[in-house]
Chains A and B, each alone.
Chain A
Amino acid sequence: MNHSFEVDGVEYQLWLSRCRENYRLCLHDRVIAPIALSDCGDGRGVVTIASESRPVRFAIDGETVHVHMSGETRSLHYRDPLRTLATSKLEISQAVARAPMPGVVVVTRVSSGQSVCAGMALMSIESMKLETVIRSPQDGIVERVHFKEGESFEQDAVLVTLIEERS
């Protein structure tokens, strides 16, 4: 079965299979085997890839695996195939305005129940000391404003949820 990880904004498909007592990693263009990871506890481990062993530091946070190896750090986000489907279904009937980067709400321009049209300002946010206006992606009714003025949010957070206007 194919699995998917996002690293630095790019998605990678892969799958894992057993290879005697170890594993085999199948990427779209090659196969790496055998691979093994021994967990030494407290986020320390030793990874063995094609008979070369290296120490790694790792932390698992929900569906994200953070890894430090050979002086580099990366976060690998697991994309659950079922979850991805459910989210995309939800967003068909509900439009959302997401945060392009982490920041703080400066001012909210709309409240729930209000009709908005595409391009209308929903709120102003401040990030990296710059003010940005978050605009409505489509026509609709504001279902919920998720953050109050002065509250901070992370990147990709849903700021405003809209529902389609019934005619």
Chain B
Amino acid sequence: MQDLPFDTVLIANRGEIAVRIIKTLRKLGLRAAIAYHDIDAGTLAVTMADAAIAIDGRTPIAAYLDIPQIIAAARQANAGALHPGYGFLSESAEFARAVTSAGITFIGPSPQSIELMGDKIRARNFVQRHGFPVAPCAIEDDDPATFVCRARAMGPPLLVKPSAAGGGKGMQIVRDIGLLEDAIAQARSEAQRYFADGRLYVERYIEHPRHIEVQVLGDAFGNVTHLFERECSIQRRFQKVIEEAPAPRLSSALRQRICDTAVGIARAANYQGAGTVEFILGGEEFHFLEMNTRLQVEHPVTEMITGVDLVAEQIHIAAGHPLRLAQSDIVPRGHAIEARLCAEAPERGYAPTTGRVLVLDYPDGDGIRVDSGLSRGQRITTAFDPLLAKIIVHSPTRIKAAQKAHRAMREFVLLGCATNASFLARILADDKFLHGQIHTGYLEEHPHIAAGEPLANLSDFLAIGALLTGPVRESADAVSDLHAALGNWRN
């Protein structure tokens, strides 16, 4: 790596992504500092970091969203750069601006890019203006009085979305046009609650859509390259569960068109850093969904097929260097699948679970990577997102990758807090999944996958429970002693 104008990087994040960033910083010979809330004291990221600075807040999340405290922590650690990870402040233009004004390099795009892509409607209009495909749409702000009329005129199916949305919250699918107004009312109240912004827009909904996204890298000199696509169609409530690269059942011509469109959008936006352009694909038609101006949760599948360390590239670009990868240098190899291990019970409507990590065994083997922030003894609470770890595998073919991921999920052991590991294993062994017959409604269409099946060997589990529970074993032994005594007496 070329010279960097900083030697310490503050990580304004937690959990698995903080650990992931520390690993690259170490590889590059940089010091890692982390800002952490007390609830995360003793977690892997905090103990791995070279310096850890406590921050606080009314809630743990509030601490990780407190811009002045995080900038003070960066100063205290003598950090010349800051990595925001994903979530929290990673897509806050205000934060990027405050970091830069403090004389600290923000490892991410410019505040202008974040602002442009952060507002869905602004981003959509920008993309359309540059001649790239967008879905037919009715925007409330264009003329609030005729909004419902314009939406109705588009005809079903429709998707109602908050303008300020993220993470699929507040979205409503309308298949019966008579229910449009109810859906608008519900989306508005949710949008108001999540984003304090009730503005909406309505888009034509594509049935059985696939979510395809393209990883891009741009530098300060106008160079943009793509690192091919990821398929993220296995979703629950619009949140990704399993991601893979490359996308299955995609012709090379269509792949090329999608990747070229992503590069065109990033170039039009003067995009600098790592970003992801998301598309909805229905049949052979695709249109722009949104652009995420940060590292994605699912970035490891791209790293597995290209061999590129995306965090290292982010740092290289943030330091002001031109891209060191030409498009022809990026050659995808094999197939990668990522499964998101979460503290939740899909069998009970994805209810969050809590507990303490008592036993933790990671699967290992060739082509298996585990990105995790977990350590033994750690308490798992509902204070944050339920994502605990990611299991990523790489194999020569998709089927082999699915088999390897399935085996890895079954070998992953976390005792003390229920997880979705069995659910992930069920998807990875599902016939439709293995045939690549996936779309974003896959889990709703196949509810048996989330529901699970009764345990075939439940009696074996009960046997182990009985043998390991003092009172159960003691009452058995007490009877046995009596029998033994009787036996002795008879002899």
Contact = CB atoms under 8 A, between A and B. Distances in A.
Nearest to B461: A74
Contacts of B194: 129
B465 interface: yes
B424 to A, nearest CB: 11
Contacts of B479: 17-18
A56 B467 CA distance: 13
B352 A47 contact: no
Nearest to B383: A152
Nearest to B385: A129
Contacts of B101: none
B359 A3 contact: no
A127 B382 contact: yes
**Interface of A: prevailing SS:** strand
**Interface of B: prevailing SS:** helix
B409 to A, nearest CB: 8
Contacts of B469: 3, 5, 63, 65, 78
A49 B352 contact: no
Contact of B462 (A36, A56, A76): A76
A70 B457 contact: yes
Interface string B397-425: 00000000000011101111011011001
B468 A154 contact: no
A150 B460 contact: no
Contacts of B415: 43, 57-59, 66-68, 73
A61 B357 CA distance: 11
B359 A127 contact: no
Across the A-B interface, the 3 shortest Cβ-Cβ residue pairs: A71-B410, A18-B480, A76-B465
11 contacts: A3-B466, A14-B462, A23-B466, A25-B459, A43-B359, A49-B460, A61-B358, A67-B464, A71-B411, A71-B422, A129-B194
Interface string A137-167: 0000000000000101011000000000000
Contacts of B445: none
Interface string A41-79: 001010101000000111111010111111111111010
B405 to A, nearest CB: 13
Contacts of A155: 351, 353-354
A35 interface: yes
Contact of A72 (B58, B347, B352, B455): B455
A91 interface: no
Contacts of A72: 410, 422, 455, 457, 461
A1 B458 CA distance: 21
Given A7-B455, A16-B476, 11 more contacts: A3-B469, A7-B461, A25-B463, A43-B359, A47-B460, A59-B359, A61-B416, A67-B461, A72-B461, A103-B382, A128-B352
A152 B461 contact: no
A54 B243 CA distance: 33
Contacts of B473: 16, 23
Given A15-B475, A25-B459, A58 B468 contact: yes
A134 interface: no
Contacts of A69: 457, 460-461, 464
B358 A66 contact: yes
B296 interface: no
A78 B465 contact: yes
Contacts, number: 166
Contacts of B353: 102, 155
Interface in B15-63: 58-59
Interface string B332-363: 00000000000000010011111010110100
Given A73-B422, A128-B352, A67 B476 contact: no
A27 to B, nearest CB: 6
A104 interface: yes
Interface in A17-44: 17-18, 23, 25, 27, 30, 32, 35-37, 43
Nearest to A131: B193
Contacts of B382: 102-104, 127, 152
B354 A35 contact: no
Interface string B209-233: 0000000000000000000000000
A101 interface: yes
Given A74-B461, A101-B352, A150-B58, A129 B476 contact: no
B358 A59 contact: yes
A20 to B, nearest CB: 10
A12 B458 CA distance: 10
B475 A16 contact: yes
Nearest to A68: B413
Nearest to B349: A128
A129 B169 contact: yes
A32 B455 contact: no
A103 B384 CA distance: 11
B72 interface: no
B381 interface: yes
A47 B468 CA distance: 11
Contacts of B468: 37, 58, 60, 65
A78 B479 CA distance: 20
Contacts of A43: 358-359, 415
B223 to A, nearest CB: 40
Contacts of B447: none
A80 B471 contact: yes
Contacts of A1: 475
B130 interface: no
B175 interface: no
